[in-house]
Amino acid sequence: MKEHIRESAKVISEEEIWHLDVLLEHLQNISKNRNLTQPKILAACLSSIIAFTNLRLSELYEASFLMISSAEAKLTTMIWKGAQGRVQISLRKLHNNRCCPIYWINRWKLESKDNQDFNENPWETFTKSQCSVHIRQLLKDAGIKGQIRVTQIRAAALTKLLQSGATKEETDRWSRHSNSSDTVRKYYDKTNNDNARILLSSFK
């Protein structure tokens, strides 16, 4: 019986993790293009938010914005995996402006000027599956090889955060992986994750 279980067990393969800077540099480069298509702007917006918040695409797709300005944005959504609950996330403009979520959120809002219900339904006519396709194409355009998954953005961000010298507390709070961060993440994360996001946005 044990031998049979071993033989039929699902094979778990290691997934290659690319460096987050590959994506950030690509976002910075394409930001100079004033003629980007709507799907590319959408993908840039979604991928930048995922990279700096650790939200899953399914969680981000259901998110709504509480406020958006040129310097800050606040969004809220439900976390369905792990310790479940509603999270309110505050994002602020970063030094590397063209790769940070604030720039891309505002650019996507401008692109979606006909969407009268933008804050409640920012992704409007795009399905979650379409969002995934456009994000994966963006990653391919950035030069990422092999099998591409949206989840790789979160893995790359966490890896960079650890390599950048973030403390365990900062990493756990940002990733919402520890019990100590549960109370914070269920209500708001305000300034608590600012340092983690600064580390993520820093590249040569």
In this predicted structure, what is the pLDDT of residue 95? 81
Which of 13-22, 160-169, 171-180 shows the lowest per-residue confidence on average (mean pLDDT)? 171-180
Span 21-29, average pLDDT: 94
Superfamily grouping for domain 16-201: Intergrase catalytic core (1.10.443.10)
Span 107-129, average pLDDT: 95
In this predicted structure, what is the pLDDT of residue 97? 78
pLDDT at 173 over 50: yes
What are the structural domain ranges in the chain? 16-201
Q: With bands split at pLDDT 50, 70 and 90, how would you rate the model's confidence at 192?
A: low
Considering only residues 8 and 60, tell me which one the structure prediction assigns the higher pLDDT: 60
In this predicted structure, what is the pLDDT of residue 46? 98
Q: With bands split at pLDDT 50, 70 and 90, how would you rate the model's confidence at 175?
A: confident
pLDDT at 159 over 80: yes
In this predicted structure, what is the pLDDT of residue 198? 57
Span 115-128, average pLDDT: 95
In this predicted structure, what is the pLDDT of residue 158? 87
Mean of all residue pLDDT scores within the chain: 82
**Distances from the Cα of 23 to the Cαs of 48, 89, 135, in angstroms?**
9, 22, 11
Q: With bands split at pLDDT 50, 70 and 90, how would you rate the model's confidence at 61?
A: very high
Span 6-20, average pLDDT: 54
Span 7-22, average pLDDT: 59
pLDDT at 16 over 70: no
